Amino acid sequence: MESDILDILDQVGYDGPLAEEACLLGACGRGFGSSEYVSLLMWLSSRITHITDSHSQQPLITEDPDRCMSDTSRLLKDLCCPCEGLASRLANGEVKDVKEHLKIILFLASELQAAEIVASKPATDEEELDASLKDLRVICQTLKLPDPAGRDARDTFAAVQQQVNVLLEQLPETHIGDPAFKSSLHQDQWSELEKINGVLSAEYECRRRMLIKRLDVTIQSFSWSDRAKVKIDRMARAYQPKRYSLSLRSSVSASHLLAARQDLRYMMKTSSGSCREKTSCAINRILMGRVPDRGGRPSEIEAPLPEMPAWQKRSDGGGNRGGWRGGWRSGGDGWRGGRQSRGGRGGQYYR
């Protein structure tokens, strides 16, 4: 923990007396009785206040030892310190362990580091706009209208409606077509429709993840050959941009249902001429050469030999139940049999 604290303090620009591990541990051992420890807490809190709230001039932590502990406890509560019970124990004066004093510094230093990272990120115009204003801006860009920022909303919507009417008059009557969904739903039905769409979106997200994982594994298998190992960087530059453009989540919403037209009800094969006009490419003309035969044709596989011999009817004069006696003898070799018992040998081969 000490090394992490020193690294963070160095990154946030602290160069005080507690920049050394021995001094830091000694000050944490004395706790709020150490002026260096209190000065470090004041420095961290003042930097956090300056970054997050430039209008606040009142210091969050004072030099008074009696108030410093309560001020630090209040600051930990305001910043939602994840250390369970640390703020309450600090307010009651129960924090005397070196490790807990180190936790206080680690938390405040981490908060300062996070505040600096957020403050250093340049804010773009899109991030400052409200979500509704973003959509309105996209509409105006599509219709080639002036930017809606700074304009009266009523004038913007009137201009949008007027431009849409002008464009609709220029289109043929059958260009848009009849809507596929012609019913009207009340509020509860719309809520149920959103739930159904959420379930379907989760299902299709799972399928998309599986397909993208298959794609990754397939591309990875291409790099196993010796010829491809020297072109891995080239393959990555060609594949990675297309790979990260694939979205895992489905973007279908209720608005797509309202915008759907009746032509979606007609099924068209992907091999039809109209579809192939847009999907055909030069790679379709490449013929693969001879490839190793991997088999997989059940009609050409011979049936395996039976594990047990076929059942046959017992011939007359067969063996006795429970064992057998006697044996056979032919020439110099023979079998001298005896009663076969469980766990023993029933006969002896002799020469």
Would the pTM count as exceeding 0.75?
no
pLDDT value of residue 331: 46
pLDDT value of residue 342: 44
**DSSP H or E stretch at residue 119:** helix 98-120
pLDDT value of residue 293: 81
Between 184 and 337, the more confident residue is 184
The beta strand positions in the chain, using DSSP E, are 328-330, 333-337, 347-350
DSSP letter (8 states) at residue 298: G
By C-alpha distance, which of 81, 82, 105 is closest to 7? 105
Compute φ and ψ for 172, nearest 5 degrees: -65, 160
Q: Which two tokens stand for residue 345?
A: 């040998």
Distance CA 272, CA 294 (A): 31
Mean pLDDT of the 209-230 span = 88
pLDDT value of residue 351: 43
Length of the chain: 351
pLDDT at 344 over 50: no
Q: Which long-range contacts (CB under 8 A, 24 or more apart) does 238-244 make?
A: 243/212, 243/215, 243/216, 243/219
CB 129 within 8 A of CB 61: no
Buried b (16+ CB within 10 A) or exposed e, 25-46: eebbeebbebebbbbbbbbbbe
User: What's the pLDDT band for 323 if we cut at 50, 70, 90?
Assistant: very low
Q: Which two tokens stand for residue 137?
A: 């801006």
Among the ranges given (46-60, 117-131, 197-211), the one the predictor scored with the smallest mean pLDDT? 117-131
Tokens 């009651």 belong to: 92
Q: DSSP labels for 28-94?
A: HHHGGG-HHHHHHHHHHHHHHHHHH-TT--S-SS-S-HHHHHHHHHHHHHHTT--STTHHHHHHTT-
Q: What is the pLDDT of residues 80-103, one digit of tens each?
A: 887 777 777 777 777 777 888 888
- Bridge partner residues of 346 (DSSP): none
Between 186 and 17, the more confident residue is 186
Tell me the range of 134-143, 288-297, 319-328 where mean pLDDT is highest. Answer: 134-143
Between 126 and 194, the more confident residue is 194
pLDDT value of residue 339: 45
